[in-house]
Amino acid sequence: MLTHKVICAYCGRRLFHNTDSRLKNSEKWFCKNEDCKFSVYMTVAELEHEITEILNLLISTPKFTEYEETDIQAEPSLEIIRMENEIERQLESIDFDKNEIQNMILQCATKKYDAYKGVRHITDRLKADFEQSSPLSAFNAELFDRTVTAITIDKDKKVCLKLKNNKIIRKEMTLNDANTACT
Protein backbone atom coordinates (compact mmCIF):
# COMPACT_ATOMS: atom_id res chain seq x y z
CA MET A 1 0.00 0.00 0.00
CA LEU A 2 2.74 2.46 0.93
CA THR A 3 5.02 1.82 -2.05
CA HIS A 4 2.31 2.55 -4.64
CA LYS A 5 1.78 6.07 -3.33
CA VAL A 6 5.42 7.25 -3.47
CA ILE A 7 6.09 9.70 -6.31
CA CYS A 8 9.12 11.63 -7.51
CA ALA A 9 9.32 15.17 -6.16
CA TYR A 10 10.93 16.30 -9.43
CA CYS A 11 8.96 14.74 -12.29
CA GLY A 12 5.81 13.48 -10.55
CA ARG A 13 6.15 9.88 -11.72
CA ARG A 14 6.01 6.87 -9.43
CA LEU A 15 9.13 5.96 -7.46
CA PHE A 16 10.06 2.31 -7.26
CA HIS A 17 11.62 0.58 -4.26
CA ASN A 18 14.62 -1.71 -4.51
CA THR A 19 16.39 -3.72 -1.80
CA ASP A 20 19.91 -5.09 -2.14
CA SER A 21 21.14 -6.59 1.15
CA ARG A 22 24.72 -6.73 -0.17
CA LEU A 23 25.03 -2.94 0.00
CA LYS A 24 25.54 -0.72 3.04
CA ASN A 25 22.55 1.38 1.99
CA SER A 26 20.38 -1.55 1.07
CA GLU A 27 17.10 0.22 0.24
CA LYS A 28 16.69 2.72 -2.56
CA TRP A 29 13.79 4.59 -4.16
CA PHE A 30 14.31 5.41 -7.83
CA CYS A 31 12.51 7.01 -10.74
CA LYS A 32 12.33 5.11 -14.05
CA ASN A 33 11.76 8.31 -16.03
CA GLU A 34 14.73 8.52 -18.43
CA ASP A 35 14.75 12.33 -18.24
CA CYS A 36 14.76 12.34 -14.42
CA LYS A 37 16.59 9.27 -13.06
CA PHE A 38 16.18 10.54 -9.47
CA SER A 39 17.12 8.14 -6.69
CA VAL A 40 17.45 8.36 -2.93
CA TYR A 41 18.55 5.86 -0.30
CA MET A 42 15.82 5.53 2.31
CA THR A 43 14.43 2.49 4.06
CA VAL A 44 10.72 1.76 4.25
CA ALA A 45 11.07 2.06 8.04
CA GLU A 46 12.58 5.55 7.68
CA LEU A 47 9.78 6.55 5.31
CA GLU A 48 7.12 5.20 7.68
CA HIS A 49 8.77 7.15 10.52
CA GLU A 50 8.66 10.39 8.50
CA ILE A 51 5.02 9.77 7.54
CA THR A 52 4.14 9.07 11.19
CA GLU A 53 5.72 12.38 12.25
CA ILE A 54 3.69 14.27 9.64
CA LEU A 55 0.49 12.46 10.65
CA ASN A 56 1.24 13.39 14.28
CA LEU A 57 1.64 17.02 13.20
CA LEU A 58 -1.82 16.82 11.63
CA ILE A 59 -3.24 15.13 14.74
CA SER A 60 -1.83 17.91 16.95
CA THR A 61 -2.86 20.67 14.51
CA PRO A 62 -5.79 19.49 12.33
CA LYS A 63 -6.09 23.06 11.01
CA PHE A 64 -3.22 22.26 8.62
CA THR A 65 -5.66 20.23 6.52
CA GLU A 66 -7.55 23.41 5.63
CA TYR A 67 -7.13 25.67 2.63
CA GLU A 68 -7.46 29.40 2.66
CA GLU A 69 -10.78 30.20 0.99
CA THR A 70 -8.99 31.76 -2.01
CA ASP A 71 -6.95 28.58 -2.64
CA ILE A 72 -9.82 26.08 -2.87
CA GLN A 73 -10.54 26.70 -6.54
CA ALA A 74 -6.86 26.94 -7.52
CA GLU A 75 -7.19 23.94 -9.87
CA PRO A 76 -10.52 23.94 -11.72
CA SER A 77 -11.64 20.68 -13.29
CA LEU A 78 -11.33 20.10 -17.03
CA GLU A 79 -15.11 20.35 -17.31
CA ILE A 80 -15.11 23.81 -15.70
CA ILE A 81 -12.27 24.96 -17.97
CA ARG A 82 -14.17 23.66 -21.00
CA MET A 83 -17.32 25.51 -19.90
CA GLU A 84 -15.40 28.75 -19.31
CA ASN A 85 -13.78 28.49 -22.74
CA GLU A 86 -17.15 27.92 -24.39
CA ILE A 87 -18.58 30.99 -22.64
CA GLU A 88 -15.62 33.06 -23.88
CA ARG A 89 -16.08 31.79 -27.44
CA GLN A 90 -19.79 32.63 -27.36
CA LEU A 91 -19.10 36.12 -26.00
CA GLU A 92 -16.55 36.77 -28.76
CA SER A 93 -19.03 35.90 -31.50
CA ILE A 94 -20.91 38.71 -33.19
CA ASP A 95 -24.41 37.37 -32.75
CA PHE A 96 -24.66 35.57 -29.43
CA ASP A 97 -27.81 34.58 -27.61
CA LYS A 98 -27.91 36.45 -24.30
CA ASN A 99 -30.21 33.87 -22.63
CA GLU A 100 -28.02 30.96 -23.76
CA ILE A 101 -24.90 32.62 -22.33
CA GLN A 102 -26.69 33.37 -19.05
CA ASN A 103 -27.63 29.69 -18.78
CA MET A 104 -24.05 28.63 -19.55
CA ILE A 105 -22.71 31.01 -16.88
CA LEU A 106 -25.18 29.66 -14.32
CA GLN A 107 -24.25 26.06 -15.16
CA CYS A 108 -20.54 26.89 -14.83
CA ALA A 109 -21.15 28.63 -11.48
CA THR A 110 -23.06 25.57 -10.28
CA LYS A 111 -20.15 23.28 -11.23
CA LYS A 112 -17.71 25.59 -9.40
CA TYR A 113 -19.89 25.61 -6.31
CA ASP A 114 -20.20 21.82 -6.37
CA ALA A 115 -16.41 21.50 -6.67
CA TYR A 116 -15.98 23.88 -3.73
CA LYS A 117 -18.47 21.88 -1.64
CA GLY A 118 -16.62 18.67 -2.51
CA VAL A 119 -13.24 20.01 -1.39
CA ARG A 120 -14.83 21.54 1.71
CA HIS A 121 -16.52 18.22 2.57
CA ILE A 122 -13.30 16.20 2.13
CA THR A 123 -11.37 18.77 4.19
CA ASP A 124 -13.96 18.64 6.99
CA ARG A 125 -13.76 14.83 6.97
CA LEU A 126 -9.95 14.90 7.12
CA LYS A 127 -9.95 17.46 9.93
CA ALA A 128 -12.43 15.36 11.94
CA ASP A 129 -10.35 12.22 11.31
CA PHE A 130 -7.23 13.87 12.73
CA GLU A 131 -9.13 15.49 15.63
CA GLN A 132 -10.42 12.05 16.68
CA SER A 133 -7.01 10.36 16.42
CA SER A 134 -4.54 9.92 19.26
CA PRO A 135 -0.83 10.60 18.71
CA LEU A 136 0.84 7.72 16.92
CA SER A 137 3.78 5.77 18.30
CA ALA A 138 4.15 3.80 15.06
CA PHE A 139 3.01 3.96 11.44
CA ASN A 140 -0.78 3.57 11.18
CA ALA A 141 -1.63 2.09 7.77
CA GLU A 142 -5.38 2.60 8.23
CA LEU A 143 -5.12 6.34 9.02
CA PHE A 144 -2.57 6.73 6.24
CA ASP A 145 -4.83 5.05 3.68
CA ARG A 146 -7.89 7.10 4.74
CA THR A 147 -6.12 10.46 4.52
CA VAL A 148 -3.20 10.35 2.05
CA THR A 149 -3.21 10.02 -1.75
CA ALA A 150 0.53 10.45 -2.46
CA ILE A 151 3.97 10.82 -0.89
CA THR A 152 6.92 12.69 -2.38
CA ILE A 153 10.56 12.27 -1.43
CA ASP A 154 13.27 14.70 -2.50
CA LYS A 155 17.07 14.38 -2.69
CA ASP A 156 17.42 15.52 0.94
CA LYS A 157 15.00 12.80 2.08
CA LYS A 158 12.33 15.40 2.82
CA VAL A 159 8.91 13.81 2.71
CA CYS A 160 5.65 15.53 1.77
CA LEU A 161 2.16 14.08 1.96
CA LYS A 162 -0.63 14.91 -0.46
CA LEU A 163 -3.89 14.60 1.43
CA LYS A 164 -7.20 13.43 -0.05
CA ASN A 165 -8.24 17.09 -0.49
CA ASN A 166 -5.00 17.70 -2.50
CA LYS A 167 -3.43 19.74 0.30
CA ILE A 168 0.35 19.25 0.53
CA ILE A 169 1.79 18.79 4.04
CA ARG A 170 5.43 18.60 5.13
CA LYS A 171 7.00 18.02 8.53
CA GLU A 172 8.51 21.51 8.86
CA MET A 173 5.15 23.29 8.60
CA THR A 174 4.16 26.06 10.97
CA LEU A 175 0.96 28.06 11.14
CA ASN A 176 2.58 30.76 8.96
CA ASP A 177 3.29 28.44 6.04
CA ALA A 178 0.40 25.99 6.31
CA ASN A 179 -0.63 26.84 2.75
CA THR A 180 2.81 26.58 1.15
CA ALA A 181 3.36 23.66 -1.23
CA CYS A 182 6.37 21.37 -1.21
CA THR A 183 9.06 21.96 -3.77
pLDDT digit string (tens) for 152-165? 999 999 999 999 98
What would the pLDDT profile of 117-170 be if each residue is shown by its tens digit? 778 888 999 999 999 999 999 999 999 999 999 999 999 999 999 999 889 999
Does any domain span residue 164?
A: yes
Any idea what DSSP says for residue 77?
-
Question: Is 0.75 surpassed by the pTM of this model?
Answer: no
In a domain, 141, yes or no: yes
The pairing of strands 148-153 and 6-8 is parallel
The answer to whether residue 64 is domain-embedded is: yes
Q: Is residue 182 part of a domain?
A: no
Strand partners, 76: none
Does 82 reside within a domain? yes
Q: How far is CA 118 from the centre of its chain?
A: 15
24/143 Cα distance (integer angstroms): 32
Q: Considering its fold, how many domains does the chain have in total?
A: 1
Could you tell me the residue range of the domain that residue 23 belongs to?
3-177
Residues of the chain with pLDDT under 50: 70-73, 175-176, 178-181, 183
Closest CA to 30 of 180, 139, 176, 155: 155
Has residue 69 been placed in a domain? yes
Report pLDDT for 137: 96
User: Does residue 47 lie in a domain region?
Assistant: yes
